[in-house]
Structure 1
Amino acid sequence: MNDSGTGLPPSGRSLRDRTARLLSGALGSAIVMFVLVSAMWAIEVVDYVEDGRLDRYGIVAHEPDGLAGILFAPFLHAGFAHLMANSVPLLILGFLAAIRGLGRFLAASLLIIVVSGLGVWFTSPPNTLTVGASGLVFGYFGYVVARGLFDRRALDILLGVVVAVLYYSILWGALPSQPGISWQGHLFGLIGGVLAAWLLRRRRPS
């Protein structure tokens, strides 16, 4: 007789617990991403009403005052078309990035924002204004793919492979190509995502 009262053997309880944690994490990550993207849309509505005045709080390259924009730029966009282009990949990749825990997700997001923002500030032409969540999109891509390599969990490896296959084409955006597109934000966002996966990887006993 099982003393737990569940009627399941230990292996069955373990599988049930893992499934429950995964479903809970999926629900939490979905809510977080919905709130995050909804906030971006609300900000863009205000920016539209204010005739784009909020965009000045983005990253201004090489300007000391522009450093503050590192934290604000991901939530600002150059119009609704720009925001729409970022919303779907941000929802999908952010959801997959957050599914392993909101604490790690928030830490990874902050690291991606800082690495991407500093890369933009240092390497963009002087006085260039940069806004948009593209750095986060590339960061979450790098984070999800690299997490499978560093954590070596079956689910993370599977998610990393699926994301790499479906979104590999966005890597072209990390190269100098189209004028007016911040490839610097893409490239350093990707670097930030891989770095976050390494720093936040699951630690194994020696």
Structure 2
Amino acid sequence: MTINKGAKITLLLIAIAWLLKSIEWSLGVDLFHFGIYPRNRLGIFGIFFHPFIHGGFKHLFSNTVSFAILCFSLYFFIPKIASRVLRQLTLYTGIMVWLFARPSFHIGASGVIYGIASFLFFIGIFQKNPGSLIISLCIAVLNHGMLVGLVPNEEGISWESHLSGFIVGCVMAYYYRHVETEFSRKQTLEVEDDFSYEGYRNLENKEFRYNYKEKD
């Protein structure tokens, strides 16, 4: 059920972005002004709309692939709070961009993508269990090239969005470090089903109680 929910939400968000880009292309309009414009009152609305607005089909396709993988991973590995994390990552990343970024329109889902990647990576580090560390290792291997995007390296790229998402993801991973992940849940079940730990297993139940009496 959770996997289906994650897939549906991921596809829905991607579909909205592609629909808007199709409208732009078919009508010959540009929706970049719905992005975030830092420290401008109207630019505040971009905090909610910017992940769905992209500069071109190449930009949109690139973000679609990354977002699909990471968003689905978020719902698969941390199903209990995935939707909450996704909303908070979008909101807080957008706020940071509005407060600190260059005076320009910032659009695209890159900040959210960096936020999810950062969150999944650091929650594995903070939880310190083998299962969660596997998440961190996979994220690091698959997205190591993203580190380049955290600093100014190419004109027209909102590195501020990338850096904001990365920072927000790290902070939120620490905040939610005690949440149950898919790997930590499986690890707990394996321990509970292990009859050999500590050399014994408690056999007491309602029908049987062990009563110890000292010798006189």
TM-score range, shorter chain: 0.7 to 0.9
Preserved CA contact (<8 Å) 1:151 1:202: yes
**Alpha-carbon distance in 2 for matches of 1:144, 1:184:** 20
Q: Tell whether 2:85 aligns with 1:105.
A: no
Find the counterpart in structure 2 of residue 144 from structure 1: 120
Find the counterpart in structure 2 of residue 37 from structure 1: 14
TM-score if structure 1 supplies the norm length?
A: 0.79
Could you say what secondary structure the match of 1:43 adopts?
helix
Q: Tell whether 2:76 aligns with 1:76.
A: no
Q: Tell me how far 1:151 sits from its aligned partner.
A: 3.0
Q: Name the structure with the higher helix share.
A: 1
Preserved CA contact (<8 Å) 1:147 1:198: yes
Q: Tell me how far 1:114 sits from its aligned partner.
A: 2.1
**Alpha-carbon distance in 1 for matches of 2:86, 2:8:** 16
Q: Which moved more, 1:143-152 or 1:170-179?
A: 143-152
The partner residue of 1:58 within 35, 40, 49 is 35
The answer for unaligned runs of 5 or more in structure 1 is: 1-23
Q: Tell me how far 1:152 sits from its aligned partner.
A: 3.5
The answer for unaligned runs of 5 or more in structure 2 is: 181-216
Q: Classify 1:108/1:55 alpha carbon distance in 2 versus 1 (closer, same or farther; 3 Å).
A: same
**Alpha-carbon distance in 1 for matches of 2:73, 2:81:** 12
Q: How many residues align?
A: 180
Find the counterpart in structure 2 of residue 180 from structure 1: 156
- Tell me which stretches of 4 or more aligned residues in structure 1 moved more than 4 Å: none
Render the CA deviation track for 1:131-156: whole Å, top value 9, x for unaligned. 10000110111011012122344332
Q: Tell whether 2:138 aligns with 1:162.
A: yes
Of all paired residues, the percent bearing the same amino acid is 28
Q: Which moved more, 1:147-156 or 1:188-197?
A: 147-156
TM-score if structure 2 supplies the norm length?
A: 0.76
- Higher Cα Rg, which structure: 2
Q: Which amino acid aligns with 2:41?
A: P
Q: Tell me how far 1:124 sits from its aligned partner.
A: 2.4
CA RMSD between the two structures: 1.9
